[in-house]
Structure 1
Amino acid sequence: MKTTRNSILVLLTLTIMSCNSEKKENKESKDLNVEVYETSESGNKLTRITEFSKVDSSAVIKILPEQKFQTITGFGGSFTESSAYLLNKLSKKNRDTILQAYFADEGARYSLTRTHIASCDFSLNNYTYAPVADDMEMKNFSIEEDRDDLIPMIKEAQAISKDGFGIIASPWTSPPWMKDNKEYVGGTLLPKYYDAFALYFSKYLEAYKAEGIDIWGLTPVNEPHGNGNNWESMHFTPETETDFVQNHLGPKLEADGYGDVNILGYDQNRAGLGEWVDAMFKDEASSKYFAGTAIHWYESTYDYFPEELQYAHEKAPDKYLIETEGCVDSEVPAWQDDAWYWKKEATDWGYDWREDDKKHLHPKYAPVNRYARDIIGCLNNWVDGWIDWNMVLDRQGGPNWFENWCAAPVIVDPDADEVYFTPLYYTMAHFSKYIRPGAEVIGVENGVKDLMVTAATNPDGSIAVVLFNEGKTPKDFTLSLGEDTVNVKINQQAIQTILIPSKTL
């Protein structure tokens, strides 16, 4: 057979087309390189999953990195006197184990935390840094009460944390002598003491800085609606708090060299959020000293109030929106019983006595479900930081001077020197360990029914996808990023983090 020049060209063209087609097919069928970690009711505890689903699922979750939303500030828990006191009662080995678990690179890598200014319900007793009445110049100001427990806990965490962490500090009340009722519980700050209370904050920042502890943010008071006058509290209205920050606290911190400390307003439940952001961000003058808004989750055990979160973001799109407190409240925590944290047996403060028209917001619930739902719901509605309450409590859910028992991710028995890492610890770590400060929340197209999902691109280019399956059956799905895919299975009652390393992007 005679071969012509034209036939050779045709053969070469067909060969090249065939190679290009194979390359295109290979690209389209390329497996997405991922690491999968799961915590589940069936026993996984941030366990690395190495066997992927073999089901060619039609249920697809598409990651859309070109859609960018808020920048993450961080995730973490709170330094309380109760937690610090308990750590001091443990052996050095167990104390180190807990702090490493929260702050080391091998642990949860907490990046945003909170603490209380003077006493709160999770203190051993009532105390203030300014005990002398009408000490307008704070000549008797002292943080001595914090030196035995609270300050050492914070400093040890700082020494362990490679990347460091921010601290948001909140007073539960002003010194009692500044209030109309002269008590730790309830009452309002008298206007004649606004400047003295602003100085109180400045003195706190100065004293903690001298200890090597820089405070990232402040709230004017914890829960300005009060707490039913049960433990330390002080009432503000949206207008009076805005006045205090705009005309007293903000200018004082700026004058004293603390203008970079972030003031977050409100600091209570989301159901009342609208009227607060309306007052705080009314105009340029009212907004000037507010860096953002702080929120809690106690208004409901299942509703994360997306409309309120969206409204707060739209009102101040360039400001922080941070969950500063959430916990399993009004419960004595289960000890060495993982199953309890996955069952709908917990009740909260509103379960027994909430008004009839709001009682439906407080059914029995599973603690893990509440955490996972809320954090994912928050991330999908502009919240950029999420802080748990106590890091460590005892088997009673304290110590707490008011006997306001609550649960924490780590429960200890100081008498027996035993430590229990509850499923809540691993739930928090799914976010704090893999979604780092500076990450950007990105778009997700979720084609899987009854599966919650959120995603973020980290500063190193990796993508963390967190999913929660609240259902009683496993789910198979295909995760896609561009043309790359991987088939994944998530167990029933499970939270899962899928990490896409930057080198695969």
Structure 2
Amino acid sequence: MRLLRLAAIAALTFLPSITAALAEGGVSVYLTTPDGTKLLSQEPSLSFSQVDKAGITIDASRRYQEIVGFGAAITDASAYLINRMEPSAREALLKELFGRDGGLGFSFTRLTIGASDFSLQHYSYDDVQAGARDPELTHFSIASAKEDVLPVTRAALAVNPSLKIMASPWSAPGWMKSTDSLIKGALLPEAYPSFAAYLNRYADALAAEGVPLYALTIQNEPHFEPGDYPGMRVTPESRAAFVGGYLGPLLSKTHPEIRILDWDHNWDEPQSPLTMLSDAKAARYVAGVAWHCYNGEPSAQGKVHDAHPDKETYFTECSGGGWSPKWSDALPWMAGSLVESVRYWSKGVLFWNLALDENSGPHKGGCGDCRGVVSINSKTGVISRNLEYYVLGHASRFVAQGATRIESGTAPEGISAVAFRNPDASLVLLTVNRSSVNKTLTVTDGVKSFSYALVAGGVATFVWH
């Protein structure tokens, strides 16, 4: 294994601890600006004054969903790059990303069940020759995951033992599909028992490796059949039949702790999870609905939540990339998507690749210009922290696992805002100025308030007791 040498280890400086940074009796402020001159920068603290006018009104007595966490996916590509760093550099990076004391405090991640486009090759965990079948899963093996993904995930767990891990398949093994291939096709009804057993075996195997699953989705982007990397079409009716008749009953016996999440696709088709959840036999086994950012609006999450308030909501994939290279555009959009998804009931937020190289890889098919939360140069090992790093950090550094979203009223036009109460009783307000002009925010908490001028396109987190 070739080790990547970190050329700029000094860049991995930890941020001040959250507790130490809280302004005594005031408000701590952290800012990222679209010109990059401020990057999660701690600004002068603010003082409270008497309420002078209405603005963003915090009401900690009105509580909503509990937060699982924020983070990004440990894809094959991410794990491959991280696992080839020198041990000391790898440890430093994982502490920076997952550590609570001075790090970003990521507490949520996602694995792929088999290959995605961000894999070095296309594979499942039960591949056989074309035309062959393996209904008893005699060829099942997670050997490929033991090379990079599991070691990196275990190392992240060692840094943050509260890390919650979900997983998603991009495709069932080809022999379970209409195409007899990982590429395109639909899951065959006669393969439902085998696919349920396959996902259960995966959960068993990961638990045996010290990587317990918190949740899994039935299929990544089930309405999309890509032509050059694994994918699989699964209609809402098919998902309902599969979960209600096979996966749900099986996991309820073998892994009742694992949440089954439906959809795992974009905001523009809320009718698909609504149709799936209209099947009572399936709905009883479904804990929640997962969403992606690539089409539609976050309000779709609210539509499904309103119809099924007993189901949880998760925002499980969003990537930046070369299609939006300007920070002035991408920063407020990514941060605004995070904030609005939580306002519309997300318990957890995941961006896509945790790490990619300087060529947006390694990948095999699919997205050729996606951006990781960090970039690791495959030749020099130098780490670059991308805007997704700072967007996630504005939430993950300050909002602890177990925090509760609280009421933050209606934000001024052009502002996205969401508030939290941490288990230690500290309050956090995350704001994004999505407009093209500077905005003065007035924030009221009971009988006290503070004001702050947020630059156009900027992101600010406020923390106080």
The two structures have a TM-score, normalised by structure 2, of 0.88
Shift of 1:32: 6.1
Structural mapping, 1:164-183, within 5 Å: 164-183=162-181
Q: Paired residue for 1:480, among 409, 427, 444?
A: 444
Q: Paired residue for 2:72, among 56, 72, 77?
A: 77
| d(CA) in 2 for partners of 1:423, 1:177 | 40
| d(CA) in 2 for partners of 1:60, 1:239 | 45
RMSD across aligned positions (CA) = 2.1
Structure 1 residues 279 and 148: CA distance shift in structure 2, 3 A: closer
| d(CA) in 2 for partners of 1:64, 1:54 | 16
User: Which SS does the other structure have where 2:268 is aligned?
Assistant: helix
- Contact between 2:183 and 2:225, CA under 8 Å: does it hold in 1? no
Which has the larger Rg?
Answer: 1
Structural mapping, 1:270-285, within 5 Å: 270-283=267-280, 285=281
Residue 334 of structure 2 corresponds to residue 371 of structure 1: yes
Equivalent in the alignment of 2:356: 393
Q: Paired residue for 1:309, among 301, 312, 326?
A: 301
- Contact between 1:32 and 1:486, CA under 8 Å: does it hold in 2? no
Equivalent in the alignment of 2:115: 119
Aligned pairs, how many? 435
- Contact between 1:53 and 1:488, CA under 8 Å: does it hold in 2? no
Residue 105 of structure 2 corresponds to residue 103 of structure 1: no
| d(CA) in 2 for partners of 1:233, 1:403 | 11
Q: Which amino acid aligns with 1:33?
A: G
Equivalent in the alignment of 1:153: 152
- Contact between 1:281 and 1:316, CA under 8 Å: does it hold in 2? no
Farther-moved stretch of structure 1 (440-449 vs 75-84)? 440-449
- Contact between 2:219 and 2:232, CA under 8 Å: does it hold in 1? yes
- Contact between 1:262 and 1:291, CA under 8 Å: does it hold in 2? yes
| d(CA) in 2 for partners of 1:41, 1:59 | 28
- Contact between 1:40 and 1:494, CA under 8 Å: does it hold in 2? yes
Q: Which amino acid aligns with 2:31?
A: E
Structural mapping, 1:95-494, within 5 Å: 95-105=90-100, 106-132=102-128, 133-161=132-160, 163-255=161-253, 257-283=254-280, 285-300=281-296, 304-306=297-299, 308-329=300-321, 331=322, 340-343=325-328, 366-402=329-365, 404-405=367-368, 406-446=370-410, 448-494=412-458
Query: 5+ residue gaps in structure 1?
Result: 1-30, 334-339, 344-365
Structure 1 residues 142 and 44: CA distance shift in structure 2, 3 A: same
- Contact between 1:84 and 1:149, CA under 8 Å: does it hold in 2? yes
User: Which SS does the other structure have where 1:177 is aligned?
Assistant: helix
Equivalent in the alignment of 2:89: 94
User: Which SS does the other structure have where 1:127 is aligned?
Assistant: coil
Shift of 1:103: 0.2
Q: Which amino acid aligns with 1:373?
A: G
| d(CA) in 2 for partners of 1:295, 1:271 | 10
- Contact between 1:94 and 1:417, CA under 8 Å: does it hold in 2? no
Structural mapping, 1:30-45, within 5 Å: 33-42=26-35, 43-45=37-39
Residue-by-residue CA offset, 1:358-388 (whole Å, 9 max, x unaligned): xxxxxxxx22122111111111222222111
The two structures have a TM-score, normalised by structure 1, of 0.82
Equivalent in the alignment of 1:4: none
Structure 1 residues 59 and 494: CA distance shift in structure 2, 3 A: farther
| d(CA) in 2 for partners of 1:69, 1:174 | 36
| d(CA) in 2 for partners of 1:447, 1:186 | 43
Residue-by-residue CA offset, 1:122-156 (whole Å, 9 max, x unaligned): 00001111123422222221100111111111011
Shift of 1:212: 0.5
- Contact between 1:81 and 1:150, CA under 8 Å: does it hold in 2? yes
User: Which SS does the other structure have where 2:395 is aligned?
Assistant: helix
Query: 5+ residue gaps in structure 2?
Result: 1-23
User: Which SS does the other structure have where 1:476 is aligned?
Assistant: strand
Residue-by-residue CA offset, 1:212-233 (whole Å, 9 max, x unaligned): 1101111111111124433101
